[in-house]
C-alpha cells in the first residue's frame, strides 16, 4: 500500500482533548477503509503565517498513513466537512520516517520553544563580536561630527546658499501668487 503524510491544522480555540478526538476520528476513518496510521504527532499551538478563517494560531497534527488511496480520499473529505479543521495537506511519500519528525526534533533539541538562541548575555553588551564600542561623539558625519577623508557633502542639502535670484526679477515685477484657497479674493 502507498504511504502518505498528512498535516492538518485545527482552530486555536479547540482544546487539546478535542484535537485528540479529531485525530482519533480520522484514524478510525483510515482504519475502516483498510489502512493504518503508523504515527501521530501533536505539534501544539503554533502561529500561522497569515490569518486563516479569522484564526491567527492553530493546533498542528501530523499523521503517517499506510493506506490505499480511497481511504485517504475519504479522510480528506471528512476534513473538508469538519469546521474545526482550518487546512490540511496530504503528500504521498516513498517511505515513512521512523522516530520524531523534524518539527519535534527542532523543538526538543534545545528543550525550549525559543529556537536555540543560547546565552546571549546582557542586553546592550558586545553583541557584535570584537567590534569596538562607539561613544555618542564618534558618529562619523552624523550630528555634526568630522567627515574625515570623505570631503564636503556637496549635493542638494537644504542648507546651501542659493545666491541671487536675479534671473526671476523682483516679486513686485511679477504677478502676485494665488494660493488654492484664495481664488475668489482679489490681490
As a whole number of angstroms, the distance between CA 42 and CA 63 comes to: 9
| Per-residue pLDDT reduced to its tens digit, 15-27 | 999 999 999 999 9
More confident residue, 79 or 116: 79
Give residue limits of the domains in the chain.
3-97
Quick check: 74 pLDDT over 60? yes
CA distances from 122 to 31, 42, 78, 82, 109 (A): 54, 35, 51, 48, 24
The CATH architecture annotation of domain 3-97 reads 2-Layer Sandwich (3.30)
Predicted confidence (pLDDT) at residue 124 exceeds the cutoff of 60:
no
- The pLDDT value recorded for residue 91 is 94
pTM (predicted TM-score):
0.57
Contact 47, 59 (CB under 8 A): no
Amino acid at each position: 500500500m502507498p504511504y502518505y503524510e498528512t498535516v492538518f491544522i485545527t482552530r486555536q480555540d479547540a482544546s487539546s482533548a478535542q484535537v485528540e478526538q479529531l485525530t482519533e476520528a480520522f484514524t478510525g476513518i483510515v482504519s475502516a477503509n483498510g489502512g493504518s496510521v503508523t504515527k501521530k504527532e501533536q505539534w501544539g499551538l503554533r502561529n500561522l503565517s497569515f490569518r486563516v478563517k479569522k484564526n491567527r494560531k492553530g493546533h498542528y497534527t501530523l499523521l503517517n498513513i499506510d493506506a490505499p488511496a480511497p481511504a485517504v480520499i475519504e479522510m480528506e473529505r471528512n476534513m473538508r466537512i469538519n469546521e474545526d479543521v482550518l487546512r490540511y495537506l496530504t503528500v504521498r511519500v516513498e517511505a515513512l520516517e521512523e522516530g520524531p519528525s523534524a518539527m519535534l526534533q527542532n523543538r526538543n533539541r534545545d528543550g525550549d520553544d525559543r529556537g536555540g538562541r543560547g546565552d546571549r548575555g546582557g542586553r546592550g553588551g558586545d553583541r557584535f563580536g570584537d567590534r569596538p564600542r562607539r561613544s555618542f561623539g564618534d558618529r562619523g558625519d552624523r550630528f555634526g561630527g568630522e567627515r574625515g577623508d570623505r570631503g564636503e557633502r556637496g549635493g542638494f542639502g537644504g542648507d546651501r546658499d542659493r545666491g541671487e535670484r536675479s534671473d526671476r526679477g523682483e516679486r513686485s515685477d511679477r504677478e502676485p501668487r494665488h494660493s488654492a484657497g484664495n481664488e475668489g479674493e482679489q490681490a
